[in-house]
């Protein structure tokens, strides 16, 4: 693609040229344009009903009585898109009662696909501020145990507050580096890694990401992600399952991480069962990835109405 087109698009939409150049190489010009346009429109707020506290029907009634307009998300029975907000979603009595969590639709996917059972020991490796942890807890009916790990001091405070607000009691949280998970000596039935990433998928919510991250950030995140996955696989029980996700579109943070995991460790990619989303890349930016990556899923604002998202499920043999 000519430098002029890249520069024009980057200038028109306010992106780094390197990012637009990568988008065009990965998605082609037409899809890149649609992605950039969709990012400008932003995304609808979504909420997840906390079924530990209240049923989705009851929550719907309560919020509609307050003039909110909600629409059910088809694939998750407790998720709603918020079509109309009569006031701030984070200040309703129902929010303060822990009846819902404000959570982007794509980020409801990892706990849903991990499908933990009430008797499981589950590790949430990058847990704060707690959206996915509280979702795991509700899927498990507050039974079993979730080991929630994060390093960020401020976000740990939010995690604790959200666990409390949502009435979660089956969590033990540690402020530690996820790479040190093996030192805990815990063997998990299931592990969730919503990895720290360069986050270009959240541009619809945070336009500063159009320019604030560079290739060095992608490589830096990639190095952390590899270590997190290695630590997690070491602590996963035989036949245990791991869901890996990021809100980055960069294959270096997604397909490359999974490709290295299946090469180095005794794990296989398994079907997510998702009926939507694009298949993971088998080839991108001049790099080939194993055919198993077709079972991973990529979501985009212009195709799925979600933030940019990658998700893949692994099973330990």
Partner 1 sequence: MGLKDSLSANCEKGEGEVATIEFRIVPTDQKELILSRLDEVLGEGVGHKVTRNMEIVVATGKRTEVFLVPRMVLDIFMKTQGIHNPYCLGMHVGDLIHDEFLLGIEGATLCAPYTTRKAKVSDKGEQAVLYGRDIECAFIKDFPSAIHRGEKLLVLNVFDETIAIGKALVDGVEFSTLPKEKVAVENILDRGWYLRKGT
- The binding site for partner 1 (CB under 8 A) comprises 90-91, 93, 95-97, 121, 129, 142-145, 147, 151-153, 156-165, 167-177, 183-186, 196, 198, 212-213, 216-217, 220-221, 224
DSSP state at residue 56: H
Q: Tokens for 276? A: 């939507």
Q: Tokens for 28? A: 């082609």
Q: What is the sign of the dihedral through the CA atoms of 124, 129, 131 and 136? A: positive
Q: Whose structure tokens read 């109309």?
A: 84
Q: Let me know if 247 is a catalytic residue.
A: yes
Given the complex with partner 1, which of 171 and 242 has the nearer CB atom? 171
Instruction: Calculate helix-pair angle for 3-13, 29-41, nearest 10 degrees.
Output: 10
What minimum distance in Å lies between the beta carbon of 196 and partner 1? 7
What minimum distance in Å lies between the beta carbon of 174 and partner 1? 5
Given the complex with partner 1, which of 101 and 289 has the nearer CB atom? 101
DSSP state at residue 281: P
Of 46, 221, 235, 247, the catalytic one is 247
> CA 305 to CA 285: how far, in whole Å?
25
The values of phi and psi at residue 221, to 5°, are -65, -40
Given the complex with partner 1, which of 195 and 312 has the nearer CB atom? 195
301 and 43 Cβ atoms separated by less than 8 Å: yes
Q: Tokens for 208? A: 């500063």
What minimum distance in Å lies between the beta carbon of 95 and partner 1? 8
Given the complex with partner 1, which of 86 and 169 has the nearer CB atom? 169
What minimum distance in Å lies between the beta carbon of 203 and partner 1? 15
Enumerate the active-site residues.
Answer: 247
């Amino acid at each position: 693609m000519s430098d002029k087109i890249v520069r024009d698009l980057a200038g028109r939409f306010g992106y780094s040229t390197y990012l637009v150049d990568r988008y065009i190489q990965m998605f082609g010009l037409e899809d890149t344009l649609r992605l950039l346009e969709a990012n400008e429109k932003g995304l609808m707020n979504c909420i997840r009903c906390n079924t530990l506290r209240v049923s989705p029907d009851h929550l719907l009634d309560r919020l509609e009585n307050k003039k909110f307009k909600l629409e059910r998300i088809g694939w998750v029975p407790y998720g709603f898109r918020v079509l109309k907000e009569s006031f701030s979603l984070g200040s309703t009595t129902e929010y303060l009662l822990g009846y819902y969590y404000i959570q982007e639709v794509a980020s409801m996917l990892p706990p849903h696909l991990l499908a933990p059972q009430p008797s499981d020991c589950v590790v949430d490796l990058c847990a704060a501020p707690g959206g996915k942890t509280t979702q795991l807890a509700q899927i498990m009916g507050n039974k079993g145990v979730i080991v929630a790990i994060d390093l960020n001091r401020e976000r740990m405070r939010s995690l604790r507050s959200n666990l409390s607000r949502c009435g979660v009691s089956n969590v033990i949280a540690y402020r530690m580096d996820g790479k040190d998970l093996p030192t805990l000596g815990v063997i998990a039935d299931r592990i969730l890694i919503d990895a720290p990433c360069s986050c270009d998928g959240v541009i619809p919510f945070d336009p500063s990401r159009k320019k604030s991250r560079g290739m060095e950030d992608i490589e830096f995140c990639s190095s952390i992600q590899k270590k997190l996955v290695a630590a997690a696989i070491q602590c996963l029980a035989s036949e245990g399952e791991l869901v890996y996700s990021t809100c980055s579109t960069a294959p270096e943070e997604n397909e490359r991480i999974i490709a290295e995991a299946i090469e180095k460790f005794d794990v296989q990619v398994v079907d997510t069962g998702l009926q939507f989303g694009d298949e993971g890349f088998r080839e991108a930016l001049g790099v080939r990835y194993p055919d198993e990556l077709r079972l991973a899923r990529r979501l985009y604002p212009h195709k799925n109405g979600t933030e940019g998202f990658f998700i893949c499920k692994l099973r330990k043999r």
